[in-house]
Amino acid sequence: MKHDINKGTLINRNDGANIAKGEYLLFIDGDGLLVNNILEKAYLKAKNKDLNIDIVQYQTYSGDFYKTFFLSDKKRMEKLIYQPELSSLMYYENGNLHQSEYFIWGKLIKREVYLETLKNIDEYFLSQNMILHEDGLILFMLFKTAKSYLFINDYGLLYYYNENSTLSNIGNKEKINKSTRDSFLYLEYMFKYTNNSLYEKNMAVFQFKYLFNNFGNIFFKTTSGFDYIYKIINLYLNCNVITNEDKQLFRNITNKFKNIEQNLKH
């Protein structure tokens, strides 16, 4: 299958999953390299008849071409988890997400589970040609859909970190607007698919604050899409389970965008 335009990794992966014939899927980005016979090791684990595993996650090294690779993941014992614990994997632990749990790579995924995951996500979110946060969008629902998840100690991926590809280096106006739109689309998604409880909405609020703490300097350079930005912020403002402190934060962010929008009109 070939697209006439670049539709982004999310649509490409989903199209690949739909036409694939195998029982399992493994996604790898152009800056990743499989090592240590990990595909065979993960497959043998997944095919253990006594365990019936939907997802096998192996561990990763990260680095760039000029620095020594470091271990991305904390060393942990091999562990098999089931629902409902599995559905909480994307939730923060002490304010942090495990890196490899946030990315689609580093996992062997049962194809039927991945396809079922796609059915549980509105087409609206899947068809936006996202260039950012597409992994988080899939994984959050994947962890709710799968029934079992196995961590293994084997390191099986070298992930080459390219500083020039990070969100923080975006300078083009069109890319800034697109990246901001994708980020707010992701925040809309997280708000919609977290239940209206303090625990679950805290997840969405955490994601909101995390994005602004790390990339607010990019978002505040946007020059379009303000109505959509206000719409998503208002979703969070009107949620009755978030704290007054967070509500004030969202009001401050809204006011900053309004000042930017007003200055652009002059």
Listed by start position, the domains of the chain span 8-164, 171-265
For position 86, what pLDDT does the model report? Answer: 86
Under 8 Å between Cβ of 8 and 130: yes
Q: Which two tokens stand for residue 261?
A: 């929008």
State yes or no: pLDDT of 111 exceeds 70: yes
With contact defined as beta carbons under 8 Å apart, do 150 and 48 qualify? no
CATH dotted code for 8-164 = 3.90.550.10
Lowest mean pLDDT among 91-105, 132-146, 186-200: 91-105
Q: If you average pLDDT over residues 225-230, what whole number do you get?
A: 97
Strand-pair category, 32-34 with 70-71: unpaired
| Chain mean pLDDT for the chain | 83
Q: Cα–chain-centroid distance for residue 242?
A: 22
Higher pLDDT residue, 69 or 64? 64
Q: What is the pLDDT of residue 99?
A: 44
Q: Is pLDDT at 37 greater than 60 in this prediction?
A: yes
**Which of 48, 70, 47 has the alpha carbon at shortest distance from 60?**
70
Alpha helix positions (H), the chain: 8-19, 38-46, 99-102, 111-119, 123-126, 134-145, 173-193, 198-219, 226-237, 244-265
Tell me, what's the pLDDT at 167?
Answer: 55
pLDDT at 189: 95
| Out of 35-49, 97-111, 158-172, least confident range | 158-172
For the entire predicted model, the pTM comes to 0.85
Query: Which of 12-21, 56-65, 233-242 tops mean pLDDT?
Result: 233-242
To the nearest whole percent, how much of the chain has pLDDT over 90? 45
- Whether the predicted pLDDT of 65 surpasses 50: no
pLDDT band, residue 95 (cuts 50/70/90):
very low
Q: Mean pLDDT across the stretch 88-114? A: 72
Residue 136 · residue 90 · CB < 8 Å: yes
Measure the CA–CA gap between 211 and 233, rounded to whole angstroms.
13
Plot region of 158 (φ>0 → left; ψ -120 to 50 → alpha; else → beta): beta
Whether the per-residue pLDDT at 6 is higher than 70: the answer is no
